[in-house]
Structure 1
């Protein structure tokens, strides 16, 4: 398998008018960021603890619509030490929540020349439906390896046995859909789960580390090879989090802890200068973090063709 961006005749997805995959190297580790599509969600969920006028001003400054906009949804494929690792699996089928423009991961993996049978490991940053749903699409499980390993924090699996949504601020229907998807996922893939407590090396230079906050078992994935580093931050970082890291996202189950995690992570990334990729930053979401006074600044990478 080669994680390249070459066009191949006859493969699906060639008529798309926007790019949906972007390849880069982290030392000897191959990385491919893949767009699963976008999620149209209310802007109030960006900062449900913020003054509405302050949130409106931020949206206006960013040239974003005031009521709803499209959240990017990114996953990552990594190849290291002979292993092919999928980090998060996208939304899968639309769970009757008017999210028809996501759930593209399986087709876009195929368009990139990545066969599902080549995936040796899956790492889940957490078990929200837009991170596990792609594995529940009809026919996907049958195409995966019987010895597939799915790495997830033990605290995450435990949480979804009886999830608490009392601190979240989600649109109607989302809590029920999240519960149902997590329950179905564990039922389908329990024998494949490989849980860890705080940190686990999935492959050479590929380490999953539990952060908590967004969900109790939320983790980030750190890549390191040849003096280069990249962090896939999952849902620890959202676009508004650079300017306003203490604003709460509506999907955060422990918003205070999520803000603390976000600030610690952004400070660390600013200090190291390593690259950052995150689930809901605009595709391909590759960039670095700079410090700007009491806040942070997102520095997008220049695309390498």
Structure 2
């Protein structure tokens, strides 16, 4: 699959891959590889559509970010625990006619990611938005996957996408239709390999998926725990603005108030344990910890280990 020895000194990148696209670490005995799927350019209002542009502006200014649009990172993880090789989310895949040419890099450049799809035993899908499942729908990918592949998704997530409700989201035009179509295609193509769980499921030794809800009804996080160390992959429960402004509503949240409650609870939990955090849309490699800061929080990126 991959080893930390291999990721320490990868082959020289091609000229179009000068930006690092993978980062390896260990959580006790569990091997972890964070892989970049590229970036999504989206309007800044997507990070806080329940507050005015004037209220949002100071945060973007303090972060040296443009006021109108920014690039959201896309991160996935590969985990090896025991004899299980687990892909956590699968990236965007091909651009669904929404002008997202810099996303979907995981599947387009498998050599850069260091992932051998033939060795994946399990896939955990945090939720069925297209930037988490689209990589599995790229032509030729399914043929590389094992016939006994197990795909783990919360049961309430599968049920939601049979008739999804977008009334409380705040997305750019075209996104709801693309999300609906991608989820429908995914369940049609992989339904026989989907294994659902209600609240929590141990995927492998020390690897547990847990439903949080909020962002989507079946949104889940994945916690790794081994030899006194831990890391939580938070999916879309946490965005960069969510540390300082945890009550701002993200445009992709189907239950904004519920998502804020989930975010605050998870941030409090991580600040209490001091364990590591990785999230889909935090700047790559997004490995850090959470510190409580009054009624808000602070993200503390880890120092890279070379």
CA distance in 2, matches of 1:240, 1:31: 25
CA distance in 1, matches of 2:23, 2:300: 17
The reply to whether residue 208 of structure 1 matches residue 212 of structure 2 is no
1:112 positional shift = 4.0
Over aligned residues, Cα RMSD in angstroms? Answer: 1.1
Q: Match of 1:286?
A: 287
1:115 positional shift = 1.2
The reply to whether residue 8 of structure 1 matches residue 11 of structure 2 is yes
Gaps of 5+ in 1: none
Report if aligned partners of 1:213, 1:254 keep a CA contact under 8 Å in 2.
yes
TM-score w.r.t. the length of structure 1 is 0.97
1:107 positional shift = 3.9
Q: Match of 2:122?
A: 121
Q: Match of 1:89?
A: 90
Report if aligned partners of 1:109, 1:115 keep a CA contact under 8 Å in 2.
yes
Q: Match of 1:134?
A: 135
Q: Match of 1:154?
A: 155
1:15 positional shift = 4.7
Q: Match of 1:185?
A: 186
Report if aligned partners of 1:228, 1:274 keep a CA contact under 8 Å in 2.
yes
TM-score w.r.t. the length of structure 2 is 0.97
Provide the secondary structure at the position in 1 that maps to 2:37. strand
Q: Match of 1:54?
A: 55
Report if aligned partners of 2:106, 2:113 keep a CA contact under 8 Å in 1.
no
| 1:11-43 deviation per Cα after TM superposition (whole angstroms, max 9, x unaligned) | x85751100000000000000000000000000
Provide the secondary structure at the position in 2 that maps to 1:36. strand
1:108 positional shift = 4.1
Question: Which of structure 1's runs of 4+ aligned residues deviate more than 6 A?
Answer: none
Out of 48-57 and 171-180, give the one that drifted further. Answer: 48-57
1:274 positional shift = 0.1
Aligned residues: 303
Report if aligned partners of 2:21, 2:112 keep a CA contact under 8 Å in 1.
no
Gaps of 5+ in 2: none
CA distance in 1, matches of 2:3, 2:266: 28
| 1:129-148 deviation per Cα after TM superposition (whole angstroms, max 9, x unaligned) | 00000000000000100000
